[in-house]
Structure 1
């Protein structure tokens, strides 16, 4: 598996993943009162962190996008 995420993209994804994981539990926003929105936020947060750690995004591969230097 080749890398297709650059450093800036990985940092952004990691920060977004942490925010999405923490938001339902610490924000107190009314949108997270429902179970569905909490689950969606946690799943998307985990996906963002996972792609950041693996340095690979399957959607980038499908669309032929690379943000890393060759």
Structure 2
């Protein structure tokens, strides 16, 4: 698994995932809020399988 999620993308995934899970826990949005586990996990692991399929990479590239 090569990292393909980085920067602001990572932060947004973690925040959105946590908010959705929090809203599901409080009963505000219902059970579908548990879908927030996906963006939270991809943000924490820095890897998104959909990005890999599409050839997208938001990580900073370092030049040597």
The two structures share one fold, judged by TM-score above 0.5: yes
> In 2, distance between residues paired with 1:3 and 1:58?
10
User: Shift in Å at residue 24 of structure 1?
Assistant: 2.4
Q: Please, which runs of 5 or more residues in structure 1 have no aligned partner?
A: 33-37
Structure 2 unmatched ranges of 5 or more: none
Residue 27 of structure 1 deviates from its aligned partner by: 6.2
* Number of matched pairs: 61
Between Structure 1 and Structure 2, which shows a larger proportion of helix residues? 1
CA distance in structure 1 between the aligned counterparts of 2:58 and 2:27, rounded to whole angstroms = 32
Runs (4 or more) in structure 1 with deviation over 2 Å come to: 24-28
Counterpart position of 2:57: 66
TM-score, normalization by structure 2: 0.82
1:53 aligns with 2:44: yes
How far does residue 26 in structure 1 lie from its aligned partner after superposition?
A: 3.0
Q: Which has the higher contact order (CA 8 A, sep 6+)?
A: 1
